Structure 1
């Protein structure tokens, strides 16, 4: 048995990552939004996209991390420079994606993955990490606040033009300097 760990994702794991992302969306988003998004995104296209992000990241500081248990991917995260309009280049890093497979939740994988995200951003020279969180995701927000993150007052909405499939987000941040 191999110990639970977090490492850079391997190209061959793109299929597992895409499947975990889809299951995570079903769990996290309102059903109508999840159904709408999943209907428009083909699994094969998602796999290709994740494979490309792992093999040919869009930026040198973009990383896909995999939480692994018994040689199986149980979660993933994507981190890199923040693309927010108010981000300071070279200072603000972003946790852009973060999902623990629903059956693997509450097993310590989220804490390990969160620590790896911060360590990776810090190693890439960032001083602050940011993360957009659904306003209704009390569990994730509580997890992050307990880990030292705090809201910074920024908010946005994502989704379709239909008001029923829009999601409100708040931005959390944390200082990651040593």
Structure 2
């Protein structure tokens, strides 16, 4: 992801939230999401040179249609030994079930393994059955940890998933 991708990535994120989380998070929050504000945050993040997270984009016909971001797991209890965390994975709704999400996930897994991580964790809204199925097919499983995610003062339950990373995952970066 480059500075030139920020607006397109913000668009993917906003559309992803509005599509995936309707009925799960407050509608007012979804309605208030802004591509402009999201792009500004992304540009600020990149300008600061914050290297904790790595962002990848998926393109078709030179149009950004998907975005993934990962980095070290953000829970302080495990530190770096906890592994990597998939912070975000969104694909424009009209490109669901086309392989874009699978390709982004495979690339994230490969890069995280190549970075030396032994496992990857992620949080998914407990009610988000399509996302839970997607992650299960990608080799993730719930680890029994649940926590509320605060969205505008509303506690939205999340479930943590994990997956072990392997040498085969790391080798995929040299093939891709």
TM-score by length of 1: 0.84
- Whether the 8 Å CA contact 1:61–1:80 is kept in 2: the answer is yes
Q: Which piece of structure 1 moves more, 42-51 or 108-117?
A: 42-51
Greater helix proportion: 2
Deviation at 1:166, TM superposition (A): 2.9
User: Tell me, which stretches of 5 or more residues in structure 1 are unaligned?
Assistant: 1-8
Q: 1:84 aligns to what?
A: 75
Matched, 1:20 2:4: no
1:22-171 counterparts in 2 under 5 A?
A: 22-31=14-23, 33=25, 35-38=27-30, 40-58=32-50, 60-160=51-151, 162=153, 165-171=154-160
* Number of corresponding residues: 167
Q: 1:173 aligns to what?
A: 162
Deviation at 1:55, TM superposition (A): 4.3
Deviations 1:71-126 (A, max 9, x none): 11001011101112433415411000110110111111011000011112112221
- Whether the 8 Å CA contact 2:26–2:151 is kept in 1: the answer is no
For residues 140 and 58 of structure 2, the distance between their equivalents in structure 1, rounded to whole angstroms, comes to 21
For residues 70 and 173 of structure 1, the distance between their equivalents in structure 2, rounded to whole angstroms, comes to 33
Q: What secondary structure is seen at the aligned counterpart in 1 of 2:124? A: strand
Q: In 2 relative to 1, CA 151–130 (structure 1 residues): closer, same or farther, beyond 3 Å?
A: same
| RMSD, aligned CA | 2.1
Deviations 1:46-81 (A, max 9, x none): 1011123344442x3411110111111001011101
TM-score by length of 2: 0.84
